[in-house]
Chains A and B, each alone.
Chain A
Amino acid sequence: MAWVRTALEIQQLGGEAEVFDEDGDEMRLLQRDWQLSMEKRIKEGYVDGIEAGKENSLQTGFNFGYKVGVNLLKHYGELKGILSALLAWCQLHKTKDAASGKLHELLTSLDQCEEQIVKDLSSFYKGAQPSDLLHCVEDMALISHEHRCELNEPGSCAGSRNCCTSQDSNGSSTFRCMNTNYISDSTKEELCKIFKETLLVAEQLDISAELLYYIQTLNNTESPLIQLKC
């Protein structure tokens, strides 16, 4: 829009300048020079502005995105680590070939899910419009374990974006159920399946109740990211 405005203003200015020189051809040339010169100024300013703006916000954006990424993926990573450990254990005690095969399969699926989540996460930010982003910033500024997600209530959070956000004491929105925001339904289903099957395999292995309990608790309210409706 600024370009249009500029063009209009240049015309005005050109009109005034007529007193200055009566030669029409030269006038047009001058006008053209003037116009070019002002356009150049605007462009220069614009380029500098973009650069300064990017410099201002790139790191802030990075820091924010980083937090989201770390907290979103660490629980899936934990499941991956559990699977890896169980697989290594089975391979060491060469007797559990069937379980090894299954664990390997689960790890492969989990890797694929993870790739998908990272891809979705990336395109979520890539595709976001500035106004959307502003909204999201407020929504997701805090990822706190202290806040319980009401995911367990039937019918809540069935994939809609902001159903679980609420105002906390200092007025900023708290991000509650990131998984529903970033992760597609099909990936969620797949994760749910992987988690269930991990438990099944683990139960068949000769492992301590303590370890089984640890695996089960991965899907609790403390680590809401695998709070899937299994």
Chain B
Amino acid sequence: MKWLISLCIFTLWLQADEAQAIIKKLEANLRGDSMYATMKMIVTSKRGQRTVEIESWSEGNTKSFIKILYPKKDQGITFLKLDTQMWQYIPKIERTIKIPPSMMLQSWMGSDFTNDDMVKESSLEEDYTATLLSQTQSTATLELIPKQNAAVVWGKIIIDVDVVNAVPLKETFYDDRMQQVRIMTFSKVELHGSHKVPMVMELKPLEANKKTNSTKIIFEKINYDAKIDASYFTKQALIRYSR
């Protein structure tokens, strides 16, 4: 009997260790020291479809600069994220405004992402405890439960991973009552430098009133480990690079 219990505990430990290793590999693949990208964001809602073209520069997980290229009405609007703070510059009124905490759960650019999604720095590896639910030769399904003191909003995440390319296939997000809240799917994996990247991400909220909503992000250009001028991550950049 003791042997059986020991074997079970050992198997669980091995599984947990393997799950953590998969997450670590996935994050190492997706995260570069710096990244430059251009992308299209297609927002679908009851009111129709809308496309936004974006150019972005980022350094690690804490600094990023975003510029809106299209539609023309929003052209030149810039966003700066430093740690957990976010500013925006609106050329039409020539004002730089810091987004207050009370606006963090508001939609970002009318999409299904919130301002909070844009500034959060959570790491799947550091903030969640992973458990392996199932595995095939090329895929694995993991359950991620937040660690006790992690500053995250989700009750849990179920993630399907392409273990060969170390990219996510699907993420299902649950709230603290363990209700499914949104699903993010990833597709069209491409090799960029030493990183394999899903070039298309689609977020679908699951709330009853948002059944027809979705936000699709299509990367057009990705340049990992690009040399980015430090001036992009200053408040002056909001006006300077708006033009």
Q: Do A and B come from one complex?
A: no
Q: Report which B residues bind A (CB closer than 8 A).
A: none
